[in-house]
Amino acid sequence: MSPTEPSPTIQGLANSITAFYPRIDDIATIHVDGPTAHVVTYGKPTGPTVAEYPAGAELPGFNKPGETAIRAIVGKNAYDIYKLVESNRLLRLRINASALLPADEISPGYFVGLSLDDIKLFTSGANEASRLSAATSLSASNPGQPLHLTLGRRFSLGELMPPRLIAPLMLGLAALVWLVVGYRNARQERHRQERRAALLEQEARLAHAGRVNALGEMASGIAHELAQPVAALLSQSQAARRALVIQDNDILLQALDANVREAKRAGDILGRMRAYISGAKARIEMVALADALTDAVRLVEADLVQRSIALNIAISDRSCMVAIDVISFQQVIHNLIRNAVEALFGRPEPRINLWTGSEGQDVIIAVADNGPGIDVAALDRIFEPFFTTKPDGMGLGLPLCARLIEKMNGTIEARNDDGGCFIIRLPSGGAQ
Ligand code: ADP
């Protein structure tokens, strides 16, 4: 080192060095004089430059001559290598980091960078900060210059998702969506079926309850219909017993005949009920209306006489034929007369009018009484099962009448005339 600086010799030497090693920017000699560092920089084409700065802040600390130190220069793409030559003299090489890596040799899409002690010296090529990039870092094996080299590659969207991969990917995605939707649909279908099964079960339970109710209704109907013949059997048996005591064979015979009739009637009613329950068709036969009515009336005559109820029968055409189930028909007439009897209880001059007539092709049979009449509010409901206005009534007589007449292709309606009046319409079967 020349004692007199700036030295043209050193400048010449530095020029040669920087020409030979383009990565060396310049060479400086530093003379530390107390707190001040005198710096002469060589190697620039413009010649040596002289500068001064505070030594403590700017220079690395050394213990003994021969030691080296390295420092990055922030923001200048360069770093300095210092060597302590004597106790107060240093030599400094300034290295251009970007010249270490030839930028023109970096392939498109790649980037390289150099850093020293975590300070970035230099970056070139594609933007390494891009989201779609991958980089790796190497440490230089030279402990005197602990540089880190970063090599990276930036990827374009097309490279990351090439169309030949995208198509199968989309297909796979579509298959996945299809599977998920299919699974969801299958689950919904299963839930639907479970709900349907639960509904069916509920429906079956309701149907069962309906059958049980219907059975109850039928049982009540049977009890209702049998009450009358059984009562008649009882009274006729008592009459027979009395006749035996007084040894009146005529009365005995009459009572026993009546018993036989009532027992047959009870049997017939049970038969009808069985047919009704099983839904069997009515046994329709062509009979003279007058005969069917006379038979029906015979069943109640004695009772009416006993209760002092007048019975007026007016048959318009004795040759009129009707297609009816005789037992069912008698049951209906019997029921209507019994209702009339109950309505007439306690009434002055009680009377029942039974008359027949015709209206177009229909035969009309009416059972009317001069009782209080049918409650107007109840008129619409009296054919409903279990509808009754009587404390001990069951409300099954009229629904049963309607059902039986329907089976004979007829209709029945109720209205108020002098009292209650029931009109049956049956298809005419012509004349005898
Ligand atoms: P129940 O005789 O057990 O009440 P029905 O079905 O035979 O059952 O009759 C239903 C209702 O119709 C009776 O409770 C009564 O209110 C009314 N009804 C039936 N016949 C007559 C009538 N001749 N006069 C007045 N009301 C009647």
Residue where the block lists tokens 């009317």: 368
Domain spanning 281-432: CATH superfamily: Histidine kinase-like ATPase, C-terminal domain (3.30.565.10)
Model confidence over 150-174: pLDDT tens digits? Answer: 888 887 777 777 888 888 889 999 9
Q: How far is Cα 307 from Cα 321, in angstroms, rounded to an integer? A: 32
The region of weakest confidence among 118-122, 303-307, 416-420 is: 118-122
The region of weakest confidence among 203-212, 241-250, 311-320 is: 203-212
The rounded Å distance from CA 327 to ligand 1 centre is 21
The rounded Å distance from CA 399 to ligand 1 centre is 10
Q: How far is Cα 120 from Cα 205, in angstroms, rounded to an integer? A: 84
Q: What's residue 40's pLDDT?
A: 94
Mutational pocket test of ligand 1: of 228, 331, 376, 382, the residue with most ligand atoms within 8 Å of the beta carbon: 382
Q: What's residue 6's pLDDT?
A: 87
Mutational pocket test of ligand 1: of 304, 333, 339, 347, the residue with most ligand atoms within 8 Å of the beta carbon: 339
Q: What's residue 150's pLDDT?
A: 84
Q: How far is Cα 71 from Cα 79, in angstroms, rounded to an integer? A: 6
Instruction: Tokens for 355, please give them.
Output: 């008359």
Q: How far is Cα 402 from Cα 424, in angstroms, rounded to an integer? A: 9
Q: How confident is the model at residue 337 (pLDDT cuts 50, 70, 90)?
A: very high
Model confidence over 66-102: pLDDT tens digits? Answer: 888 988 887 788 899 999 988 888 999 999 888 887 7
Atom 7 of ligand 1 has which residue's CA nearest to it? 397
Domain with CATH 1.10.287 in the chain: 196-280
Q: What's residue 385's pLDDT?
A: 78
Mutational pocket test of ligand 1: of 220, 228, 337, 398, the residue with most ligand atoms within 8 Å of the beta carbon: 398
Q: What angle do CA 186, 191, 197 make, to 5 degrees?
A: 125
Residue, of 284 and 212, whose pLDDT is higher:
284
Q: How far is Cα 341 from Cα 351, in angstroms, rounded to an integer? A: 9
Other Cβ atoms within 10 Å of 315 Cβ, number: 17
Atom of ligand 1 nearest to the CA of 340: 23
Atom of ligand 1 nearest to the CA of 367: 23
First to last CA, the chain: 162
Residue 275 to residues 17, 106, 272, 327, 328: CA-CA distances in angstroms? Answer: 131, 106, 5, 12, 11
Atom 24 of ligand 1 has which residue's CA nearest to it? 420
The rounded Å distance from CA 299 to ligand 1 centre is 20
Q: How confident is the model at residue 203 (pLDDT cuts 50, 70, 90)?
A: low
Q: What angle do CA 401, 318, 341 make, to 5 degrees?
A: 40
Prediction pTM value:
0.46
The rounded Å distance from CA 357 to ligand 1 centre is 24
What mean pLDDT is predicted for residues 400-427? 93
Atom 8 of ligand 1 has which residue's CA nearest to it? 395
Q: How confident is the model at residue 277 (pLDDT cuts 50, 70, 90)?
A: low
Mutational pocket test of ligand 1: of 311, 334, 374, the residue with most ligand atoms within 8 Å of the beta carbon: 374
Atom 11 of ligand 1 has which residue's CA nearest to it? 388
Pairing verdict, β 351-359 and 310-314: parallel
The rounded Å distance from CA 389 to ligand 1 centre is 7
Q: What's residue 174's pLDDT?
A: 95
Atom of ligand 1 nearest to the CA of 396: 6
Q: What's residue 60's pLDDT?
A: 86
Residue, of 199 and 297, whose pLDDT is higher:
297
The rounded Å distance from CA 395 to ligand 1 centre is 7
Query: Residue 10: which of 84, 98, 111, 91 has the closest Cα?
Result: 91
Instruction: Tokens for 432, please give them.
Output: 């005898």
Q: What's residue 430's pLDDT?
A: 67
Residue, of 201 and 282, whose pLDDT is higher:
201
Atom of ligand 1 nearest to the CA of 389: 14
Using CB distances shorter than 6 Å, the residues near ligand 1 are 339-340, 343, 369, 371, 373-374, 378, 382, 387-390, 393-398, 420
Domain with CATH 3.30.565.10 in the chain: 281-432
Atom of ligand 1 nearest to the CA of 388: 14
With beta carbons less than 8 A apart as the criterion, state whether 371 and 340 touch: yes
Query: Residue 110: which of 157, 155, 152, 149 has the closest Cα?
Result: 152
Q: At the topology level of CATH, where does 196-280 sit? A: Helix Hairpins (1.10.287)
The rounded Å distance from CA 384 to ligand 1 centre is 11
